[in-house]
Amino acid sequence: MEFGARLKEIRTSLNCSQKELSEQTGLTLRTIQRIENNEVKPSLYSLKVIGEVLLKRRKIAKA
């Protein structure tokens, strides 16, 4: 499975839209879309902020 598909799977399982992820990470909506469509490889910074937001949402969802 490619990274973009896995990101989308995790994001949607946490009931997070691309727009919400964009707003919470500070990345543009287009960047999130391009990562999920495997049009670009995410930078280390993008990976870090996406991971932090999704981890936070996961912890909230489990609470």
Classified by CATH at the fold level, domain 3-62 comes out as: 434 Repressor (Amino-terminal Domain) (1.10.260)
Q: What are the residue ranges spanned by the domains of the chain?
A: 3-62
**What does the pLDDT read at residue 45?**
98
Residue 63 has pLDDT above 80, yes or no: no
**What does the pLDDT read at residue 60?**
86
Q: What is the pLDDT of residues 24-62, one digit of tens each?
A: 999 999 999 999 999 999 999 999 999 999 999 998 888
Half-sphere exposure of 7 (CA within 13 A, CB side): 25
Half-sphere exposure of 26 (CA within 13 A, CB side): 7
Could you identify the residue written with the tokens 């707003």? 23
Is the Cα torsion angle 18, 19, 24, 28 positive or negative in sign?
positive
pTM of the model: 0.91
